[in-house]
Structure formats: structure tokens, C-alpha cells
Structure 1
Amino acid sequence: MPQTSPRRSQQQRSTVTRARIIDATVASLLELGYAATTISRVQERAGVARGTLLHHFPHRASLLVAVVEDVASRRLHVLSDADGAARPHGSGWDAAVDLVWRDLQSPAFLAVLELWVAARTDPDLRSALVPVERTVFEAVHRAVTTLVADTDPRVPTVVQFTIDLLTGSAMTTLLVDDGSQQLLVERWRRAIPVLLGQADAADWV
């Protein structure tokens, strides 16, 4: 048997353990919030020895940086279907709104909200979060623009409005989810053609 085989097996086990720890951290962020997501809680949830966890992530900061990258990867996966040839959700503004809204309803986005709030007063977390979130935002913007496939010079502004409005609406549902946010999304769908001069303002109502 080649000498490299045991090393590959050990590397695979290490990768699985690392993923389990990250998954446990994301689950803790969703269930308990940032402040309660301690090394001890993650260790217990992941079912690993403390030494094992610290081997992969020597301190909480290194763990959270890995989580930032993992959560970004999960959100990028949600967006990936807009870049492929097959688009089961169709194209145009309706599909673009659906894409953004689907991303904002994902557990990954809820986890990143916890990190956003914490990053306001944690400069180390903020320095890790900002460039990753910039990459995600650029992916969202690119995916929406791809689906819209419209060369109108006003499109980038409307794309920005769409992302910002739906993000704010998604955050509102964390406190009050009475269905009004979904109504807002539907009204925004009707507003987009008006803003682009493709429909009469009466269609907005």
C-alpha cells in the first residue's frame, strides 16, 4: 500500500471534523446567538474533545473567521444557479427578486446577521467579515444582473435598490412576521417596470 494512503485518510478525517465544528458553530449562532456561541458550547454540540477543537481552531476568533468564510460559501451556493445555463426559475426581474429573496431566507443569511451585529464592536471580526461580505454582495449583484439581462443604464441602480429593500424586509421578519413583508416584495415586483419606464405608474398600486 502506498505510504501516502494513511496520510490521505487522516486528512479526510480532519476535514470531516473541521466541517462538523463549523456546522456546530453555525447551528449555535442560529439557535443561541453570537454571545452564547462559546468554545465550550460548540465543543459540546460538535461532540469533539476540547483538544481536538483547539487543534483546528486555537481560539474563538479563528473559529469565527472560518465560519464567516463557510457562511459566505453557503450563500454563494444559493446564488450559483443564476450563473449556469439551466435556470429553473426562469429569467427577468421576477426571477431576480426570487433569487435575492431566497438567499435572504436561508439559514446562512440568518447566521451572518449575528456576525454583522457582533462585528460592529469587534474590529477583528469586522476585518474578516468585510472582504468576504463584499465578495458575496458582488456575487448577488452579478447574479441579479445576469438574470435581468437588460442593458438599460438604470438597471444597476434598481438592482441596488432591490438588494437593499429586500435585505431590510428580511431583517424586519426577525421581529414581526405577519406577512406584510411578502406583500412588500410583491409590490416591489410591480414597481420595478415603472421605475424603468416599462409600465404605467397605475400598475404599481
Structure 2
Amino acid sequence: MKKLTLSSAVMLERRGTDPIKRRGSRQSRIPEIIDVSINVLVAAGYAGYTINRVANDAGIRLSTLQHYFSTRETLLRATIEEIARRYLQRFRHFTDNKSHSPQARLEAIVDDAFVQLTKPGPPAAILESWGLALHEPFARDVVLEMQKQFTQLFADLVGEINPGLSSAECELRGALIVSSLEGLVVFLQWSKDTALKLEVYRNAVKVVWSGLSRAGD
């Protein structure tokens, strides 16, 4: 009988065929888990969402997932925050671009919103987050906090467009723009309109947001 020898390279190769992924670094693993979590939220809805499903779809053991997110609530909280953070980061990219006028920056956000909110996936995750917030206090707290941040972003932009407004008036108008944006999330998810008609809607939203920003007290 021949002597069986296994090199370390062969052993590592065999381990690599294990369907359970080896633990990565915290810096790389957390974003991966949250990406999968967003996909599960979209696919299963908040009612069907489980951390077991997330672990399975991520190709990791449940115990590995719980090393980073101990409960369903902590993972969902991080997931909702990440969904909102991505949109907030996109919009801040426009608001912070001082090479363009405040009005141009506001219109750029409208253009980007119509592109992003007509995509499959993340917009549906927003709706699921809102649905969860109706039933879970922790989710409601997250959604309300994110709403405040979006309101402040638009309030600051309104203040640049119309510097004569008080801070309270800017905040009010920022909140009205956010309410319009939230309506767009719902409308564009259900809309079956043609690209030409969506273009009409997009230009109309620019007129409405501009009117809210420019009107006097």
C-alpha cells in the first residue's frame, strides 16, 4: 500500500470547497452580511425576514453571523440604517458640490432620485423598512432619525436657495420636500408609465421643489 501524503496546499484546497465560508475580517464581513440582509428584506419582506435566511444566503454559519449581529433586531437596525445611509450619501454628493448653484444641486437630486428609485431592489427595501416601522419600535426610531437627517439636508439647501428664510421655515420646507420624496418612492415602485411620461413627472417635481424653496414667507 502506498504511503498517503497530503501537502498543506492540497489541504487548503480541500477546505476551500467547504460550502461554509471561512471567517473574514470584520471590515469585509459586515458589509457583505448587510448586502445579503438587504436582498433578503426585499425578497422575503419584513414579515418573512429571518437571520437564518441571511446566514444561509450569505453562505456562513448562523453562529458566525451572530458574532457580528447577535439578534434579528440588531441586524435589521443596521440594515435599515445602511439603506438610508446610501441614499443620504448620494444626495450629499450633490448638495456638497459647491461648484454648482443651489438650484442646480436640488435639480440634480431630483434627476438622481428618478434613476435610483426606478431600479429594482433597494427602493423596495425602503418600503419594507417603513412596513417594519409600523410594528417594531426600534425600526420606527431608526426611520424617524433618518427622516430628520434627510429633512436637515434639504433644509440646508433651501437656506442656500432662499437665504431670507428663517431656520424654522427652511426646516418646514425641507420636511415638505422629504414628504414629496417619500411619495416618489411609493409612486415610482408602482408606476408602469413610459419613460416619456416619467420625464414629465420628473420635470414637474423639479418645479414643485423649486417652488417650495423659492417662495417667500
Given that residues 75 and 136 in structure 1 are in contact (C-alpha distance below 8 angstroms), is that contact kept between their aligned partners in structure 2? no
Q: Aligned match of 1:169 in 145, 170, 184?
A: 184
> Match for residue 47 of structure 1?
59
What one-letter code is carried by the residue in structure 2 that aligns with 1:126?
R
Given that residues 154 and 177 in structure 2 are in contact (C-alpha distance below 8 angstroms), is that contact kept between their aligned partners in structure 1? no
What one-letter code is carried by the residue in structure 2 that aligns with 1:120?
L
CA distance in 2, matches of 1:115, 1:93: 30
Higher mean alpha-carbon deviation, 65-74 vs 152-161, is at: 152-161
Q: Aligned match of 2:201 in 184, 191, 197?
A: 184
What one-letter code is carried by the residue in structure 2 that aligns with 1:49?
R
> Match for residue 125 of structure 1?
139
SS of the residue 2:48 aligns to? coil
The answer to whether structure 1 residue 151 and structure 2 residue 168 are counterparts is: no
Calculate the TM-score normalised by the size of structure 1: 0.71
CA distance in 1, matches of 2:202, 2:113: 14
Displacement, 1:13? Answer: 0.6
Given that residues 30 and 111 in structure 1 are in contact (C-alpha distance below 8 angstroms), is that contact kept between their aligned partners in structure 2? yes
Change (3 A) 1:177 1:159: farther
CA distance in 2, matches of 1:19, 1:170: 24
Q: Aligned match of 2:101 in 86, 91, 99?
A: 91
CA distance in 1, matches of 2:97, 2:146: 26
Given that residues 94 and 108 in structure 2 are in contact (C-alpha distance below 8 angstroms), is that contact kept between their aligned partners in structure 1? no
Bigger Cα Rg:
2
Deviations 1:92-133 (A, max 9, x none): 435303314524735545422211111112223223332233
Displacement, 1:185? Answer: 2.8
Q: Aligned match of 2:49 in 37, 55, 59?
A: 37
Q: Aligned match of 2:112 in 102, 119, 123?
A: 102
Displacement, 1:35? Answer: 2.2
Deviations 1:134-188 (A, max 9, x none): 223323433x336x53324397355444332243133112122304454233124
| Identical-pair percentage | 21
What one-letter code is carried by the residue in structure 2 that aligns with 1:165?
S
Q: Aligned match of 1:18 in 27, 30, 37?
A: 30
CA distance in 2, matches of 1:108, 1:191: 25
Given that residues 100 and 140 in structure 1 are in contact (C-alpha distance below 8 angstroms), is that contact kept between their aligned partners in structure 2? no
Displacement, 1:48? Answer: 1.0
Displacement, 1:26? Answer: 1.0
> Match for residue 116 of structure 1?
130
Equivalenced residue count is: 184
Given that residues 68 and 128 in structure 1 are in contact (C-alpha distance below 8 angstroms), is that contact kept between their aligned partners in structure 2? yes
Pairwise CA RMSD: 3.2
What one-letter code is carried by the residue in structure 2 that aligns with 1:80?
R
Given that residues 43 and 50 in structure 1 are in contact (C-alpha distance below 8 angstroms), is that contact kept between their aligned partners in structure 2? yes
Given that residues 83 and 126 in structure 2 are in contact (C-alpha distance below 8 angstroms), is that contact kept between their aligned partners in structure 1? yes
Higher mean alpha-carbon deviation, 181-190 vs 57-66, is at: 181-190
Change (3 A) 1:145 1:39: same
Change (3 A) 1:48 1:86: farther
SS of the residue 2:189 aligns to? coil
Note the residue ranges of structure 2 that are not aligned, 5 or more in a row.
1-22
